Amino acid sequence: MSMIALFGALESGLIYALVALGVLISFRILDFPDLTADGSFPLGGAVFAVCVVNGINPWLACAAGAAAGALAGMVTAWLHVSLKILQLLASILVMVALYSVNLRIMGAPNVPLIGEPSVFAPFVAADYSNQFWVQPLVIFCFVVLAKIVLDWFFSTEAGLSMRATGANGRMARAQGVGTSRMIIIGMAISNALIALGGALFVQTQGGADISIGIGTIVVGLAAVIIGETLIPAKRIVLITLAVIVGAVLYRLFIALALGSDTLRGVGFGPQDLNLITAVLVVLALRLPYIKRYFKLKRKQAS
């Protein structure tokens, strides 16, 4: 694996870290199985692309993308809270609807962004020679900022109320927490983060495409679970860190699967990419247990 490929994995890992933080809020903190991500990720990208093509500052365009994501999350939450539609179905409906909305926003299935302004452009050399580390660095700043804000938020009264809403809704209501409002706010934050990921993603990708959302939720969930398994923690500061680590590791595994000449040597081909990635993730998740098993054996032997 070359340095550029390594940083490339880091870059997409950090983008999906934003997605994973969003998924953490919906699935874990609010206990709201939310599939809106597959729609809000390309929504963020679409809004960003259209804004930038129309001459709006890329930083503002990122904010607009995140705001659009927040709106999508609020719609999902509202469908559940007010219309009493089952959480999973509510999010599926919004995800499906967003496909059409995204096509409407972009006006076409693909909006190219090559040569357009981006949040990275001011820092990247004309010949792209430093692009490979500048882009991940800028995204890293976004992720760190998001983590700090989330860590702070979940230590405030509002944040604790939100955690209580997800942990035990009835108890939270009994304590005077407006759980409906908490769900709507939480879902807005969650999908805003995911859409921000989408907005950053299209800038690294050279264009927004309607197909970029496919599988977003799967990667986000995988990141959350990998993180939780490797760094089990109860403190929110560590939980958010774990999720970020999980997202980066997941993309690193893909880079490993892409780059391994050893695997090629024993007959694996490009069509096995997803399979190899899955096997690597399984190994990573079982590593602590495998280690414990061998330790136990050694103890028994002595």
The site for other proteins (CB under 8 A) is made up of 1-9, 11-12, 15-16, 99, 103, 108-110, 112-115, 126-128, 131-132, 201, 204-207, 209-212, 214-215, 219, 230-232, 245, 249, 251-252, 254-256, 258-261, 270-271, 273-274, 284, 287-288, 291-292
Q: How far is the CB of 157 from other proteins (least distance, A)?
A: 29
Between 46 and 77, name the residue whose CB sits nearer to other proteins.
46
Q: How far is the CB of 72 from other proteins (least distance, A)?
A: 18
Within 97-154, strands assigned E span: 110-112
- The CA distance from 232 to 203, in Å, is 33
Between 45 and 186, name the residue whose CB sits nearer to other proteins.
45
Number of Cα atoms under 13 Å in the Cβ half of residue 152 = 6
Q: How far is the CB of 299 from other proteins (least distance, A)?
A: 14
Q: How far, rounded to the nearest angstrom, does the alpha carbon of residue 137 sit from its chain's CA centroid? A: 17
- The CA distance from 301 to 284, in Å, is 26
Between 178 and 232, name the residue whose CB sits nearer to other proteins.
232
Q: How far is the CB of 262 from other proteins (least distance, A)?
A: 8
Q: Write out the two tokens for 294.
A: 């061998």
Bridge partners (DSSP) listed for residue 4: none
Q: How far is the CB of 255 from other proteins (least distance, A)?
A: 6
- The CA distance from 116 to 180, in Å, is 41
Determine the 3-state secondary structure of 209 from DSSP.
strand
How many other C-beta atoms can be found within 10 angstroms of the C-beta atom of residue 188?
A: 22
The length of the chain in residues reads: 302
Between 47 and 254, name the residue whose CB sits nearer to other proteins.
254
Q: Write out the two tokens for 98.
A: 């967003």
Between 176 and 270, name the residue whose CB sits nearer to other proteins.
270
104 φ, ψ (degrees, to nearest 5) = -60, -45
Is residue 110 left, alpha or beta, with left meaning phi > 0 and alpha meaning psi from -120 to 50?
beta
DSSP state of 272: G
Q: Position 215: which residue type?
A: G
Which of 284, 288, 182, 254 minimizes the C-alpha distance to 11?
254
Between 81 and 257, name the residue whose CB sits nearer to other proteins.
257
Between 25 and 245, name the residue whose CB sits nearer to other proteins.
245
Q: How far is the CB of 71 from other proteins (least distance, A)?
A: 22
Which of 301, 18, 24, 32 minimizes the C-alpha distance to 166?
32
Q: How far is the CB of 103 from other proteins (least distance, A)?
A: 6
- Contact present, 27 and 224 (Cβ < 8 Å): yes
Q: How far is the CB of 15 from other proteins (least distance, A)?
A: 8
Between 185 and 249, name the residue whose CB sits nearer to other proteins.
249
